[in-house]
Chains A and B, each alone.
Chain A
Amino acid sequence: MTEQEIYSGLRGKFGEKVLEFMEEGTLNPTAVIKADSVAEICLFLKNNESLQFDSLMNLAAHDPDGESELSVIYHLYSTNLNHYFTLKTHVSRENGVVESVANIYRTADWHEREAYDLFGIKFNDHPDLKRILLEEDWEGHPLKKDYVTAEFYRGMRIEKVK
């Protein structure tokens, strides 16, 4: 199925929860969906007979400019039917919450922890949402573009004095 067809199907089934379809200017045609309906849409995409998106290739978070909303991007692939689809959702910069898909795609477990660790995005219903790369007592989420590097971490200087 083409991405356009998949989008139309989603739009027909989920209506307002599917916001728009982006084809121009993106590498992969992308459906933008609401953050609180990610899980049900993914479940549908996975279980529907004619879609069978059984693999989440990647889950990424993105901060475009340090001011506007953060986004979470899902790259889906169907190993049976050999087609791709991309979902995207926007969350607010502070305390953004997205539905977790870790119970649908096991891949998402660590990827969501990474997005939480580096961007501070919370994932509802995640089995074990804690930092994955940085130390538990780290302050802030460094891949956000407005992140300010602290001077010290546990007594170790982070920025070298110039």
Chain B
Amino acid sequence: MGALNHKFNENILITSLDKLLNWSRSGSEWYFQFGLACCAIEMMSAAAARHDLERFGAMPRSSPRQADVMIVAGTVSLKMATRVKRLYEQMAEPKYVISMGSCANSGGPYWQYGYHVLKGVDQIIPVDIYIPGCPPRPEALLEGLMHLQKKMREEHVLEKKEV
């Protein structure tokens, strides 16, 4: 905080509430644990020991009420789309969506002849981060989460949202 920095003891830290909140939020991107197709395998791999999502504070939650981020990992069939939408609605604000892989981005390999596939999850819920790839490597998912962290840090959650 500019001029006040280092004016106090080491144990005292001066910051704005916004920054504090954003710092804590971006350090705990709890994601909603569900996978729809092959991309989910990469998501699991990203969460497992080798790539270890938890070092970013991202841990899977099984309930939409406890989740901050929804990672749509896989093919969104039209049948599932209605469920995805409902689960998104059940998440508490502020909430974010990462669309992982070509399927969730645009229908992927089912772009043509995919009579049962939603051509992009952004048709039903707002998406913050798109991760390309079929499937994206875990590193790509990590980068997506880091981009989301960046986005979170620039927000002002205490301000009223314009509707």
A-side residues, CB < 8 A to B, are 133-135, 142, 147, 149, 153-154, 156-160
Q: Which residues of A contact B124 (CB under 8 A)?
A: 156
In angstroms, Cα B124 to Cα A149, docked, is 20
Select the stretch in B14-22, B61-69, B112-120, B142-150 that faces chain A: B112-120
Q: Which residues of B contact A133 (CB under 8 A)?
A: 79
Report if B123 contacts A (CB, 8 A): yes
Determine if B123 and A157 form an interchain contact, defined as CB atoms under 8 angstroms apart: yes
B-side residues, CB < 8 A to A, are 78-79, 81-82, 106-107, 111, 115-116, 118-120, 123-124
Determine if B116 and A134 form an interchain contact, defined as CB atoms under 8 angstroms apart: yes
25 contacts between A and B (CB under 8 A): A133-B79, A134-B79, A135-B78, A135-B79, A142-B115, A142-B116, A147-B115, A149-B115, A153-B78, A154-B82, A156-B78, A156-B81, A156-B118, A156-B123, A157-B119, A157-B123, A158-B78, A158-B115, A158-B119, A159-B119, A160-B106, A160-B107, A160-B111, A160-B119, A160-B120
Q: Which 5 A-B pairs have the closest CB atoms?
A: A160-B119, A149-B115, A142-B115, A153-B78, A135-B79
In angstroms, Cα B78 to Cα A154, docked, is 9
Q: Which residues of B contact A134 (CB under 8 A)?
A: 79, 116
- Nearest-neighbor residue (CB-CB) of B114 within chain A: A158
In angstroms, Cα B118 to Cα A112, docked, is 26
Q: Which residues of B contact A157 (CB under 8 A)?
A: 119, 123
- Nearest-neighbor residue (CB-CB) of B81 within chain A: A156
- Nearest-neighbor residue (CB-CB) of B80 within chain A: A135
Q: Which residues of B contact A147 (CB under 8 A)?
A: 115
Q: Which residues of A contact B123 (CB under 8 A)?
A: 156-157
